[in-house]
Chains A and B, each alone.
Chain A
């Protein structure tokens, strides 16, 4: 089955700097890679996703890159702001209606003032 590794577990960056979170996956059949953000007291919410036929995707200050050969993908947040402080999860799955979504362990991102 799929296994997703995520690093680092904790990340502190100065406000305005960039943050990068990296993930690797094991199942080469996985073709959809979402990133979720979980704020305190809430469930995870999708912030960006990428499909296996795309190498990079950007949405304002966040971007995701995918290297299918190496089976790793990364989340990049630029110009970080206090509201970016949260736990971020990467995940891998197949784009089937009921296929399980396997998550990484999460990265707690702290934005320092």
Chain B
């Protein structure tokens, strides 16, 4: 285990549903990331939060809405998704002075 926990592990949702992905770390890290992993594509950075403030929004559609209430928790709120949004969504965290990013196991999202 890396110390980064994502829930749920699997999620199937309809295009009109609203759901949220959760990421939690108690490693004392202050930077948290959302990545999207699709087949045959590189890991795509979606959002970066540092000390609860969003420092990067990598041109992500507004149907994805991140929330970082504190340095230990990160959410990704989903609404009116499209089938092409089906992917593995990975959360990672990192701290000052430590270059290693720790990843969670991901949430496998399927949009039907």
User: Contact: A100 with B45, CB < 8 Å?
Assistant: yes
- With beta carbons under 8 angstroms apart, the residue of A34, A36, A42 that contacts B105 is A42
Q: In this assembly, does A97 line the interface, its C-beta being within 8 Å of a C-beta of chain B?
A: yes
Interface residues on B, range: 20 to 34
Tell me which residues across on chain B come within 8 A of A100, comparing CB atoms. 33, 45, 48, 56, 58
Which chain B residue lies CB-closest to A90? B42
- Contacts of B10-59 to chain A: CB distance below 8 A: 30-31, 33, 40-43, 45, 48-50, 55-56, 58
Bound complex: CA A98 to CA B55 (Å): 8
Q: In this assembly, does B95 line the interface, its C-beta being within 8 Å of a C-beta of chain A?
A: yes
- Contacts of A85-113 to chain B: CB distance below 8 A: 89, 93, 95, 97-98, 100-106
User: Contact: B103 with A105, CB < 8 Å?
Assistant: no
Q: How far is the CB of B63 from chain A (nearest CB, A)?
A: 21
Q: How far is the CB of B30 from chain A (nearest CB, A)?
A: 7
A residues with a Cβ closer than 8 A to B are 4, 6, 9, 32, 34, 36, 41-46, 49, 89, 93, 95, 97-98, 100-106
B residues with a Cβ closer than 8 A to A are 2, 4, 6, 30-31, 33, 40-43, 45, 48-50, 55-56, 58, 90, 92, 94-97, 99-106
